[in-house]
Structure 1
Amino acid sequence: MPLLELTNLSKSYIDPGSGARVPVLRGVNLSINAGESVAIVGPSGCGKSTLLNILGTLDTPDEGQLVFDGESLTQSNAKHLAAVRSQKIGFIFQLHHLMPQCSVLENVLLPTLAVPEPHGDAQPRAEALLEQVGLKDRMSWKPAQLSGGERQRVAFVRALINQPQLILADEPTGALDEANAAALTDLLLQLQQSSGVTLVMVTHHRAQAERMGRVLKIHEGVLSPS
């Protein structure tokens, strides 16, 4: 059974200037299996982030159905969707969004506060993951003391701390130079494969997209194989 299924999904927004409805996604159909890595590519403004937000239940479609882990979420209420996000989905964004007043370890542990019963002992897991990404000696540091690449590594670990089934990454290396972006893509794939989590990444970097198991593109609101 696929982990994620979208059926005939459409999304549009109202142009604040003209009041006209502007279609962003048109009749999207998508099936993603557990443990798969998928890249979604396309030009800026094509709807990549909108699709990712719908997959992560941060946005709702106008039409169509989203099924996650065998459950239809299209009509779910906000409380239930928040529980799904906190327990089953990890998010990585272009900007790390770390809390500046918290240490590296505290930042990683923040998502566990939203989970009624965290998986096992969260702190040893956080420490092990930070060691895995080369930040064993940075756990007590604040984000301002880290490099851009180190901050994004912390964001990667934070996304994994609750042992989610799905990681959604929106231009996760977009703020880094080419060398750091390539290294971080390597690391993200290593973490994805070692944990068995499903990864969906939005990117405009074709070389990074080709590292994923499957590449899809959005053109004029339509999703298709690349």
Structure 2
Amino acid sequence: AWSELDGLLLISGALGMFDREVVIQSGGYHTNTVGEDMELVVRMRRYMADKGQGYDVVYIPDPLCWTEVPSTIKVLARQRSRWTRGTMETLFTHRKLFLNAKYGKLGMLGYPYWLVFEYLAPIIEFLGILWFIFLAITGNLNWPFFLLLFGFVYFFAVSLSIWSVLFEEMTYHKYEKKMDVLRLIGTAFLEPIFYHPMVMLMSIKGNLDKVFNRNSWGKMEREGFKKS
């Protein structure tokens, strides 16, 4: 969807292909950020816009690519902290893009979305949880309203996840077994309760790491791919 809207700010460093000449002309990979893939994409787009040259940033679903993902919660936490810090660095470095019509959808759509929903959303959510705890402790929480709102938000999130799984399967037919699709749908019911809060807290840690100048990459233990 973001590819169609021309709003992509990030191409995964492990699964991306770039125009070599544009990479070089725009300055190559920067070494002063831990989110070098996102920063490079934003800088390349900004460079092309400043030069008045046309370009495309597209998602291609057909290639079969493999990348190793975190296999433990500890490694996942390091990765998410790094991603948060990289997002902060990129958004700050290219803050001139924010609502700048000169950069078209990059400045008016892509950048604001990342600022609000990718960076600020976990912070707002965390503060909301703290406020909920305060209201519950002080006896000022409207429990019927809270339970109604919680149920609505939960099932709305689950519905979006299920629709995404089904839409991808109908479009790309990546799964040969129906059981695999059913497992993904089952996971959608657990994600808001377990995985999402965990990742949110990891993002908060990333903010704290940045504030206290803990800018290391973080050790990523590699285990390789298991043969099936």
Higher normalized helix content (fraction of residues):
2
TM-score (norm 2): 0.28
Larger radius of gyration: 2
